Amino acid sequence: MLIIVRRAGIALLTLLIVITLTFFLLRKVPGDPLYMWAMELVQTHGLDFESAYEQVKQMYDYDPNEPLGQQYIRYIKGLMKGNLGTSMVYKISTNKIIVRALPWTVFVLSISLLISFGLGSLMGMVIAWKRKTALEPIVTAYAAFTGATPDYITALILLIVFAANLRLFPMKGAYDSALTPGFNWPFIKSVLRHAVLPITAYVFESTAAWAMAMKGSAVSVLGEDYIMAARARGLKERRIMISYMGRNAILPLVTGLAIALGTMLGGATFIETIFSYPGIGWFFGQATTRMDFGLMQGLFLVTAVVTIFSNLVADILYSRLDPRIKVEG
Amino acid sequence: MSVTAIPSRLYRSIYEPFVIIGRNKRAFIGLIILIIFALMATVGPEVVPLDTTQSFEKRFQWPSLEHPLGTDHVGRDTFQQIVHGSRDVLITAFLAAIFATGVAVLIGMLAGLQGGMIDAVLMLMTNAILTVPSLPVLMIVASVWKVKDPVRLGLLLSIWAWGGLARAIRSQILSLKEREFIEAARALGLSTFHVVFRELLPNVMPYVAINFFTLMRGAITASVGLMFLGLIPFKATNWGMMLSLAAWQTGAIYVPKALFYFGSPMACIILFQLGAFFFANGLDEVLNPRLRT
Amino acid sequence: MIPLLSIRDLVVEFDLGRGALRAVNRASLDVQPGEVMAVVGESGSGKTTLAFSILNLVPPPGRIADGEILFEDKDVLFLGPEDLRKYRWKEVSMVFQAAQNAMNPVMRIADQMVDTAQAHGKASKGEVLEKASELLGMMRLEPSQILRSYPHELSGGMRQRVIIVLSLLLGPKMLILDEPTTALDVVTQAYILDILADVREKLGLTMMLLTHDMSIVAKLADRVAVMYAGRVMEVGKIEEIFYDAKHPYTVGLINAAPSLIGDIDDKKPIPGSPPNLLNPPPGCPFHPRCAHATPRCQEEEPELKDIGDGRLVACHNWWLINRDS
């Protein structure tokens, strides 16, 4: 129990470091970021500069003249209340944007993760079990290729081939904007159609990595005595592969899965941007290119929290799953 | 080790690595690829001209004798752009790897040698680096700090990249510390300086060398990605910029004829990554004799 | 009597890059139904490989190169995969050396018992667990607690006993035990031996006991086979081996084993070291270390001869050998 508390403590400290770093980073921007936003207000709403500046100051909750320490404290207090800031581009609170964007990200990425993990583990298991098979060089080559190709290139190729040129799948968005959201079939169909390419891009890119990881784990498990003992007991090959090798080999990967689940909440920025898919990653990309500091900070915080938290969970999960390991410091 | 007429020390340090790389076909190909790119980056821009005249009727042409990789959206030669862009791309990657390695070695050794409070603090930082994904951080920094040249870009990319290597170096130092030859050196009264540079560093070097290529690969992926998102406005010949333009601005993706325009930077990136990967694996074999088949 | 198991001229080779290592070199052995046959030899003598061969389980890079293994008159080495799977454990089962790791770490004991039984035919979970509980009781273990535990939750001695239960679960005709008591403390050793003697009596099992420890042999065995360098050197009834050994190596083994009575200084280890199995010396493999070696021993390999009443020896000069040589 004490160990969990200690790990949680480290996680919290890490989070604090990250929060502080981003805070000071965004406050130390050369030039005055508010100026730009104030000017925009002047142009779009016809306000005079003074009032525009005041309004921006309120939205971003940022007074350049206030001492930094005080700003920091106010920021932390705001965080505790769940105030993640306001988006300067969209003019609504970050929380509202998250509520809108999160479902899409979770939808696409959880399906992608499950498929790539499942497929990959299966492939890795089979390759490790059957020692000489035609499948192995193919998978190894596939792994080398996807390892070398950044995910945005894969996504781009898919976009170009299937969407732009073959017109099989749509180019952008989560669903056809002409439709009304709801539990009607045209909407659901549209959602599925729009999700195919992003999911394919992710799955294609990550499956190989899971396969190689599983293969490595399985090969070392195969060297253990109990595999041979199981054979001596006359157990069927398939049973040994799945329940004796597979169940043991997958343990280290579960940690990776938990972490991947957490990281995914940061949104796969590249994939979402390329397919203009309105998830957290897309919004984050927009925030950075359009210098929307409020949104940037809020979304990044969410990403950091979720990632740090999922690492913690992964640690604890692993020790629970493997009956052999007692949680050690 | 085989018996040869060449003096053994010379053999080991110069001749043997090449033999090992030569035997490993993939590592050898990797080396060739890296050499080609190195040449492209250093000599290329001197040898290959860059013709920036825009000519609309020449846009998106297929490869021909005159334009080996076709033309871009305003009729400029793709091949020339690739060659000229390679210099910035590779310099950035190289610098990023150097900076990251420097920081990692410093932190790793400090943490490993000092222990105690310093170790705890440094490891907390390293842990933060490793847990939080680097891409969002880089995106934020790029948006806040306008980066205009390869040196600054290299610095930017190294910020969140040193974690893994630092942790590995620290473990290595910790295990080396226990071994007798350090104690022996200390007992002989050799200064800390000596211990660090003559005993510890050489043992850490193999890992650093291999990791260097991994860092370069990561830097290229990251820099191209950031450019692709539009966060780093660089010259249009940079591979990342070529991709970005192709995807967002020029409508190149709709034109099948533009295949070579957006395909070339993609291919170059993939090839470089593969080359570095295979060569690093070969290097691993050279430096870790246990891995040799 | 027709032997239960009959090994004839078995050859097992391990293919290492620089040559083939003969772990078992034309070994022959018969085991009669209902008896306990001890196979004695140093490590590297080939006894474990011999045991694996009986289950046709020699791990690569090893392979059975020649010979036959007849179990109830069927050659095990020619069984098809399905028949082999059915034969394993149901007819012959084995308790491996260092059996602590012979169980799947992520499955409960009960599930592993059920797995084993169900791989050999339809049996309900209840039936299997009932049988397992009975056997566990015989092992002087508490069934309900053991069955729901994971392997690592049990001590080494307990795991050893669970492994023995697993091996008896399907009621095999023969049980092979490879060093069943090494890696256990002396007290647990005695305990296990007691249990084995018990089990043997109650179930009428045929047992093949592999060991280098002569004291275990004394306690359990009916007959003894002595192996050296992958060959069977001598076979005989236990009293014959202990009091009237006819092979120099056997004599050496008996004399080297420490006992509670007598001076340890009287004990003599066998001079020399085990043979190089990659490049064995010509002739009898024991001749470099043998006090009775003659020129013939250096050239001609001795055959395993029947010298009367089921007594087998592989030595050119066997009639010269007695306890005090």
A234:C86 CB<8 A: yes
* CA–CA gap between residue A295 and residue A291 (Å, rounded): 9
Reduced to 3 states, what is the DSSP secondary structure of residue B164?
helix
A58–C contact, CB cutoff 8 A? no
A300–B contact, CB cutoff 8 A? yes
Residue C286 · residue C206 · CB < 8 Å: no
Per-residue pLDDT, B289? 67
* CA–CA gap between residue A162 and residue A168 (Å, rounded): 6
Per-residue pLDDT, C41? 86
Task: Report yes or no on chains B and A touching (3+ CB pairs under 8 A).
Answer: yes
| CA dihedral for B232, B237, B239, B241, sign (positive or negative) | positive
Q: In this model, does residue A329 exceed pLDDT 50?
A: no
Token digits of residue A141: 């080559």
Q: B72 versus A111: which is more confidently predicted?
A: A111
Burial class of C17 by CB neighbour count within 10 A (0 to 12, 13 to 18, 19+): exposed
Confidence category of residue B193, pLDDT binned at 50, 70, 90:
low
* CA–CA gap between residue B81 and residue B124 (Å, rounded): 44
Per-residue pLDDT, B15? 67
Q: A271 versus B186: which is more confidently predicted?
A: A271
Average pLDDT over all residues of chain C: 85
Average pLDDT over all residues of chain A: 82
Q: Which residues does chain A have within 8 Å of residue C59's beta carbon, measured at their own beta carbons?
A: 228
Per-residue pLDDT, A170? 74
Residue C193 · residue C215 · CB < 8 Å: no
Identify the helix (H) or strand (E) that includes residue B66.
none
On the CB side of C282, CA atoms within 13 Å amount to 5
Residue A191 · residue A296 · CB < 8 Å: no
- Measured in angstroms, the CA of B270 and the nearest CA of chain A are apart by 5
Q: Which residues does chain C have within 8 Å of residue A247's beta carbon, measured at their own beta carbons?
A: 104, 106-107
Please identify among residues 240-269 of chain A the ones whose CB lies closer than 8 Å to any CB of chain C: 243-244, 247-248, 251
What are the strands of the beta sheet with C206-211, ordered from one edge? C92-95, C174-178, C206-211, C36-40, C223-228, C231-237, C312-313, C305-306
Per-residue pLDDT, C280? 76
User: Among C55, C102, C119, whose Cβ lies nearest the Cβ of A236?
Assistant: C119
A235:C119 CB<8 A: yes
For chain C, the chains sharing at least 3 beta-carbon pairs closer than 8 angstroms are A
Q: In this model, does residue B275 exceed pLDDT 60?
A: yes
Task: Report yes or no on chains C and B touching (3+ CB pairs under 8 A).
Answer: no
Q: A62 versus A84: which is more confidently predicted?
A: A84
B143:A291 CB<8 A: yes
C96:A243 CB<8 A: no
User: Residue C16's CB: how many other CB atoms inside 10 A?
Assistant: 10
Residue C77 · residue C71 · CB < 8 Å: no
In terms of DSSP H, where are the helices of chain A?
Answer: 2-27, 33-45, 49-60, 68-80, 94-129, 135-148, 151-158, 185-222, 225-232, 237-239, 247-249, 251-264, 269-274, 280-289, 293-321
A226:C105 CB<8 A: yes
Contacts of C6 (CB under 8 A, 6+ apart): C29, C30, C31, C68, C69, C70, C71
Per-residue pLDDT, B186? 66
Q: Which of A102-116, A136-150, A245-259, B42-56 has the lowest mean pLDDT?
A: B42-56
User: Among A147, A156, A274, whose Cβ lies nearest the Cβ of B277?
Assistant: A147
- B279: which DSSP letter? H
- Measured in angstroms, the CA of C119 and the nearest CA of chain A are apart by 5
Q: In this model, does residue B4 exceed pLDDT 50?
A: no
How far is the CA of C199 from the CAs of C40, C154, C174, C210, in angstroms? 22, 22, 12, 17
In terms of DSSP H, where are the helices of chain C?
Answer: 47-54, 81-90, 109-118, 125-138, 143-147, 156-168, 186-203, 214-220, 238-243, 248-256, 295-299
* CA–CA gap between residue B260 and residue B78 (Å, rounded): 8
The winner for highest mean pLDDT among A68-72, B26-30, B199-203, B213-217 is B213-217
Residue C283 · residue C297 · CB < 8 Å: yes
* CA–CA gap between residue A175 and residue A163 (Å, rounded): 14
* CA–CA gap between residue A267 and residue A104 (Å, rounded): 10
A17–B contact, CB cutoff 8 A? yes
User: Among B133, B140, B243, whose Cβ lies nearest the Cβ of A296?
Assistant: B140
Q: In this model, does residue B58 exceed pLDDT 70?
A: no
* CA–CA gap between residue C292 and residue B32 (Å, rounded): 67
* CA–CA gap between residue C93 and residue A321 (Å, rounded): 31
- Measured in angstroms, the CA of B266 and the nearest CA of chain A are apart by 7
- Measured in angstroms, the CA of B134 and the nearest CA of chain A are apart by 10
Exposed e or buried b per residue across B116-138, where buried means at least 16 C-beta atoms within 10 angstroms of its C-beta: eeebeebbebbbbbbbbbbbbbb
Quickly list DSSP for C136-176. HHHTT--HHHHHTS-GGGS-HHHHHHHHHHHHHTT--SEEE
Interface list for chain B against chain A, based on CB atoms closer than 8 Å: 124-125, 127-128, 131-133, 135-137, 139-145, 217, 221, 224-225, 228-231, 243, 247, 253-254, 256, 262, 266, 269-270, 273-274, 277-278
Q: Which of A116-125, A260-269, B153-162, C133-142 has the lowest mean pLDDT?
A: A260-269
Report the relative pairing of strands C305-306 and C312-313 from DSSP bridges: antiparallel
Share of chain B above pLDDT 90, in %: 12
Residue C220 · residue C299 · CB < 8 Å: no
Q: In this model, does residue B5 exceed pLDDT 60?
A: no
C93:A232 CB<8 A: yes
B256:A159 CB<8 A: no
Share of chain A above pLDDT 70, in %: 92
Report the relative pairing of strands C19-31 and C92-95 from DSSP bridges: unpaired
Q: Which residue of A has its CA nearest to C84?
A: A234
Token digits of residue B62: 């297929």
- A162: which DSSP letter? I
Q: Which residues does chain B have within 8 Å of residue A14's beta carbon, measured at their own beta carbons?
A: 124, 127-128, 131-132
In this structure, which amino acid lies at residue B292? R
Name residue C94's beta-bridge partners.
Answer: C176
* CA–CA gap between residue C64 and residue C48 (Å, rounded): 13
* CA–CA gap between residue B87 and residue B81 (Å, rounded): 11
How far is the CA of B37 from the CAs of B32, B44, B189, B211, B219, in angstroms? 9, 9, 47, 19, 16
Q: Which residue of C has its CA nearest to A223?
A: C59
- Measured in angstroms, the CA of A308 and the nearest CA of chain B are apart by 6
Peptide bond into C61 cis (omega under 30): yes
- B25: which DSSP letter? H
Q: In this model, does residue B3 exceed pLDDT 60?
A: no
C49–A contact, CB cutoff 8 A? no
- List the one residue out of B70, B28, B25 whose CA is nearest residue B259: B70
Backbone angles phi, psi at A115, to 5 degrees: -65, -50
A13:B262 CB<8 A: no
Residue B239 · residue B86 · CB < 8 Å: yes
Q: How does pLDDT run across A165-199, given as a tens digit for each residue?
A: 777 777 777 777 777 777 788 888 888 888 888 89
Q: How does pLDDT run across C43-66, given as a tens digit for each residue?
A: 778 888 999 999 988 888 888 888
A226:C89 CB<8 A: no
In this structure, which amino acid lies at residue A71? Q
Q: Which residue of A has its CA nearest to C97?
A: A225
* CA–CA gap between residue A60 and residue A41 (Å, rounded): 14
Per-residue pLDDT, A327? 38
Per-residue pLDDT, B272? 92
In angstroms, the first-to-last Cα distance of chain B is: 13
A220–C contact, CB cutoff 8 A? no
Q: How does pLDDT run across B8-17, given as a tens digit for each residue?
A: 665 566 666 7
B131:A14 CB<8 A: yes
Q: How does pLDDT run across C146-200, given as a tens digit for each residue?
A: 998 888 888 888 888 899 899 989 989 999 998 887 777 778 788 888 888 888 8
Instruction: Output the CA angle A219-A220-A221, nearest 5 degrees.
Output: 90
Q: How does pLDDT run across B234-260, given as a tens digit for each residue?
A: 766 688 888 887 777 766 667 777 777
Residue with tokens 């890696």: C183
How far is the CA of C102 from the CAs of A182, A223, B271, C163, C164, in angstroms? 56, 12, 47, 8, 11
| CA dihedral for A34, A39, A44, A47, sign (positive or negative) | positive
C106:A229 CB<8 A: no
A130–C contact, CB cutoff 8 A? no
Per-residue pLDDT, C176? 92
C91–A contact, CB cutoff 8 A? no
Per-residue pLDDT, B14? 65
Residue A255 · residue A318 · CB < 8 Å: yes
Q: How does pLDDT run across C250-287, given as a tens digit for each residue?
A: 888 887 776 666 666 666 777 777 777 777 778 888 88
Q: In this model, does residue B7 exceed pLDDT 70?
A: no
Domains of chain C from N-terminus onward:
31-57+75-91+172-272 (3.40.50.300)
Q: Which residues does chain A have within 8 Å of residue C93's beta carbon, measured at their own beta carbons?
A: 232-233
- List the one residue out of B269, B273, B225 whose CA is nearest residue A281: B225
Token digits of residue C165: 């239960």
A144:B274 CB<8 A: yes
- C20: which DSSP letter? E
Per-residue pLDDT, A256? 86
A81–C contact, CB cutoff 8 A? no
Backbone angles phi, psi at B72, to 5 degrees: -95, -165
Peptide bond into A198 cis (omega under 30): no
* CA–CA gap between residue B159 and residue B92 (Å, rounded): 13
- Measured in angstroms, the CA of A188 and the nearest CA of chain C are apart by 41
Share of chain B above pLDDT 70, in %: 82
Mean pLDDT to the nearest integer, C129-153: 88
Q: In this model, does residue A5 exceed pLDDT 90?
A: no
- Measured in angstroms, the CA of A300 and the nearest CA of chain B are apart by 7
Confidence category of residue A326, pLDDT binned at 50, 70, 90:
very low
Residue B20 · residue B292 · CB < 8 Å: yes
Confidence category of residue A328, pLDDT binned at 50, 70, 90:
very low
